[in-house]
Chains A and B, each alone.
Chain A
Amino acid sequence: MIQVRAQIRDRELHGAVHILHLHAPDLARQLHPGQAVLIQTGWYVDPFLRRTFYPVAIDDAGFAIRLAPDADRGRAWLRMAPQGAEIDILGPVGRGYALPERTRRILCLGQGDAAWTLLPLVHAASAQGLGVALAMEASTKRQTIPPRDLPITVEYHVATLDGSAGRRGDLRPLLPDLLRWADAVMAAGSLDFYHVLARMIEDARMILPRDYAQALYQTDFLCGFGACQACAADVAGGRRRVCLRGPVFDLVDILR
């Protein structure tokens, strides 16, 4: 983990959603998909807590974070921060997704806003020449990842609850075929989503084996380096600090 001053180098607006591109090459070099960064917002000590973000893009010069509209003061400050502003960042936090050796086909499965955190992994895996399928479910089309943000080689499936994009409903009907195809699964969503995923894996592959599926346990951090115990959650057979053991876990460990 390092602490850096990063500059807001660009801002994309997609309706009410902001994508902030941050210039932080030193941090970007250490940052892996699924790891978190902790951003200080506001002035002096208000708001006090750093905001936790899971980057939605990583390159040599820095990374990008996504700000969906909400009532949080810290994120509101970031939405208003001008281009060129410097912000203080701690990161990376914890362990991210790790592509298993000998994997050739990975399935990335996302739910809602969390699905965006899979984007750096999708790009990294595609750049390595792996077969990549991304499947996401969302409330509406506005929440979905635009196909233009994906490498051309990625197979993309979308389901929306209102039917505004892709198939109407959730991903369940698509999963049996995708799970039989994939060597490994990388997921980002809610605990309920992971329970459904685990059942679908058991149906498709008989068992939920260890080292087959990894999942992001999305939580907010206070210190991010294991001191404060604020992030301790019931994972991996005990109450563990997510900042040290996660935030990406084997799916087996998240459901234990």
Chain B
Amino acid sequence: MLNLAPRNKLGLVIDSPLLAGSGAVGYGDAWPPGLRPEDFGAIITAPVSAAPRKGRPQPRLTEIPGGFLLDTGGHNPGFRRLAASQIRTWRRLPTPVILALAGGEPGDRAWMAAHLEPLEDVIAGVELSVSEDVNLGETAAFIAAVRRATPLPILARLPVTRATYLARTAIVAGADALIVGTPPPASYPASQTLIEAPLSGPAAFPFTLRALSLLAELDLDSPIIAAGGVYSLDDALLCLEMGASAVAIRGLVWRDPAAARRLAINIRPFMPEMEGVESDEG
């Protein structure tokens, strides 16, 4: 067992270093053939916003060399409706559920976090995505606001190109763990328009590795989760060797569920050990 939030009194204990990354299995309700909740140490939901969002019309997807760009426009049913419709699903899941809170109006994420109290027995933590264009003060402010609103563990997802710049601020503001991270945004044509979205697919992996190596030099005393472009056991093990406590996958779940299942099985023996870890061996 591994605790992804060792300084948080609630903790976030996982039994596999493989996480279902943001939206890989929707809100925990969309499962591909062959994969089960038990295959993952935790599940991160697709981001939810305070109010419903219709999202972007078609096209939303385009292929690029080595991956794809997907822009859903933040399509989601909104916090209240999602919580009402999914609480039974989350309660049934044998795996910790981390709710990704999407940005929007200032204070939206803190508002959602403040309304998580009835869900605290089914939600194990929250993911906060830090966007490319925020400064240190804004990052500190919104993470601290969420910290004040909920005791749940906070996982801060950082943009890979600014991870070292933002990491300490996120931790000081209250993040229990860091997710590295959001790949750089890119544009590519689709049906006579341009899709603009963070890079997804194996092409994102070098960015994840670079951010991991730079963060390792900072010697942060917080768990780091590698996310972005992990497509094989070798990729995942490299992330763990470079200091990640866990890895999150998304595109692999969508493209090749059987390969994701093999990764889930083969990575279990490589569960890292770290300070503050609860262990099966006691």
| Chain A positions near chain B (C-beta within 8 angstroms) | 1-3, 40, 45-50, 88, 90, 219-220, 222-223, 225-234, 238-239
Contacts of A223 in B (CB 8 A): 30, 32, 253-255
Our pick among A40, A225, A234 for the contact of B32 (Cβ within 8 Å) is A225
User: Do A48 and B66 contact each other (CB < 8 Å), given the known contacts A225-B31, A226-B30?
Assistant: yes
The answer, among A48, A226, A239, for a CB contact under 8 Å with B201, is: A48
- Residues of chain A within 8 A (CB-CB) of B54 are 238-239
Give 6 A-B contacts (CB < 8 Å), ordered by A residue.
A3-B33, A222-B255, A233-B58, A234-B57, A238-B54, A239-B75
Majority-rule SS of B interface residues: loop
Across-interface contacts of A47 in B (CB, < 8 A): 63
Q: Which of B30-63 contact A (CB under 8 A)?
A: 30-34, 46, 54-55, 57-58, 60-61, 63
Q: A232-B60, A239-B55 are in contact. Are A46 and B254 (CB under 8 A)?
A: no
Question: What are the residues of chain A within 8 A of B103 when measuring CB–CB?
Answer: none
Chain B residues with CB under 8 A of A233: 57-58
**Residues A227 and B72 in contact, CB atoms below 8 Å apart:** no
**B29 nearest CB across to chain A (Å):** 8
The residue on B at minimum CB distance from A242 is B58
Q: Does B256 contact A (CB under 8 A)?
A: yes
Q: Which of B20-28, B87-95, B265-273 forms contacts with chain A? A: B20-28
Q: Are B32 and A48 in contact (CB under 8 A)?
A: no
Q: Indicate if B65 sits at the interface (CB-CB under 8 A).
A: yes
B70 touches A45 (CB 8 A): no
Residue of B nearest to A49 (CB): B63
Of A2, A45, A219, A227, which one neighbours B254 at CB under 8 angstroms?
A227
The 5 closest A-B pairs by CB, nearest first: A223-B254, A227-B30, A226-B30, A230-B61, A227-B26
Q: In the complex, given contacts A1-B33, A227-B32, what are 18 additional A-B residue pairs having Cβ atoms less than 8 angstroms apart?
A: A1-B32, A3-B32, A3-B33, A40-B256, A48-B63, A48-B66, A48-B251, A219-B58, A222-B68, A225-B30, A227-B25, A227-B30, A227-B253, A228-B70, A229-B46, A232-B75, A239-B55, A239-B57
Q: B220 an interface residue at 8 Å Cβ cutoff?
A: no
* Chain A residues, CB < 8 A from B64: 48
Tell me, yes or no, whether B202 is within 8 Å of chain A by CB.
yes
On B, residues with C-beta under 8 Å from A are: 23-26, 29-34, 46, 54-55, 57-58, 60-61, 63-68, 70, 72, 75, 201-202, 231, 251, 253-258
Contact A3 B257 (CB under 8 A): yes
Min C-beta distance of B65 to chain A, whole Å: 7
- Bound-complex Cα distance A17 to B65 (A): 26
Q: Could you tell me if B254 and A228 are in contact, using CB atoms closer than 8 angstroms?
A: yes
Contacts of B32 in A (CB 8 A): 1, 3, 90, 223, 225, 227
Q: Which residues of A contact B253 (CB under 8 A)?
A: 223, 227
C-alpha spacing A215/B34, complex, angstroms: 31
Q: Are B68 and A88 in touch, CB under 8 angstroms?
A: no
Taking the nearest CB of chain B, how far is it from the CB of A13, in angstroms? 27
State in angstroms the CA–CA spacing of A48 and B252 once bound together.
Answer: 10
Cα separation A226 to B23 with both chains bound (whole Å): 10
Q: Which B residue's beta carbon lies closest to that of A229?
A: B72
User: Which residues of the other chain, A, contact B60 by a CB distance below 8 angstroms?
Assistant: 229-232
What is the bound-complex CA distance between A219 and B60, given in angstroms? 12
Chain A contacts for B68, CB-based, 8 A: 48-49, 222
Tell which of A225, A233, A238 has the most Cβ of chain B within 10 Å.
A225
Q: Give chain A residues whose Cβ lies under 8 Å from the Cβ of B66.
A: 45-46, 48
Tell me whether B26 and A45 are in contact (CB under 8 A).
no
CA distance A73 to B51 in the complex (A): 40
CA separation between A220 and B254, bound complex, in Å?
14
Q: How far is the CB of B223 from chain A (nearest CB, A)?
A: 25
- In the complex, A232 Cα to B67 Cα: how many Å? 20
Q: How far is the CA of A209 from the CA of B26 in the complex (A)?
A: 34
B-side contacts of A88, CB under 8 Å: 256, 258
Chain B neighbourhood of A90, CB < 8 A: 32-33, 257
Q: Are A220 and B61 interface neighbours, CB within 8 A?
A: yes
Interface pair A46/B65, CB less than 8 Å apart: yes
**Candidate in B58, B70, B253 with the most chain A CB atoms within 10 angstroms:** B58
Determine if A228 and B23 form an interchain contact, defined as CB atoms under 8 angstroms apart.
yes
A222 / chain B contacts, CB cutoff of 8 Å: 61, 68, 70, 254-255
In the assembled complex, how far is the CB of residue B139 from the closest CB belonging to chain A, in whole angstroms?
27
Distance from A251 Cβ to chain B, minimum over Cβ atoms (Å): 19
Residue in B33, B64, B75, B255 with the greatest tally of chain A CB atoms within 10 Å = B255
Decide if A226 touches B26 in the complex (CB within 8 Å). yes
| A118: min CB distance to chain B, Å | 23
Choose one: A2, A40, A219, A229; the contact of B75 (CB below 8 Å).
Answer: A229
A3 touches B258 (CB 8 A): yes
From known contacts A40-B255, A222-B254, infer whether A45 and B33 are also in contact, taking CB-CB under 8 Å. no
Expressed in whole angstroms, the minimum distance between the Cβ of A129 and any Cβ of chain B is 34
Complex Cα–Cα for A229 and B55 (A): 10
